[in-house]
Amino acid sequence: MQTLLQRAFDRLAAEYVKVDKAALFEALKDFQPRQPGSLTYAQIGEGLGTTEAAVKSAMQRLRQRHREILREEIAQTVTSAKEVEEEIRHMREVLTR
């Protein structure tokens, strides 16, 4: 499972590098809201020279694309769409333990 997650993460990173948004990816990749010491969207935006709203939108797009890539990676390991959903459900269970 870790390899699958890493492949999805690496693909996402490569997409951001390809469109010259590596700095944005680096700023958002480990963002964990409400964690001690974490930056706010406003602080990230300030560091990137953009607005808080732009950072929020970028984070939504990053998360959506990560979900899409992860589904694609899982689909390569199973034989049906139903199995993709089962694998995602299992992965969530394992990761939240």
* Chain position carrying tokens 């999805």: 8
Length of the chain: 97
48-57 confidence digits (pLDDT tens)? 999 999 999 9
Residues of the chain with pLDDT under 50: none
Task: Give this prediction's pTM.
Answer: 0.85
pLDDT score recorded for residue 31: 85
On whether the CB atoms of residues 55 and 46 are closer than 8 A, the answer is no
On whether the CB atoms of residues 87 and 78 are closer than 8 A, the answer is yes
pLDDT score recorded for residue 25: 95
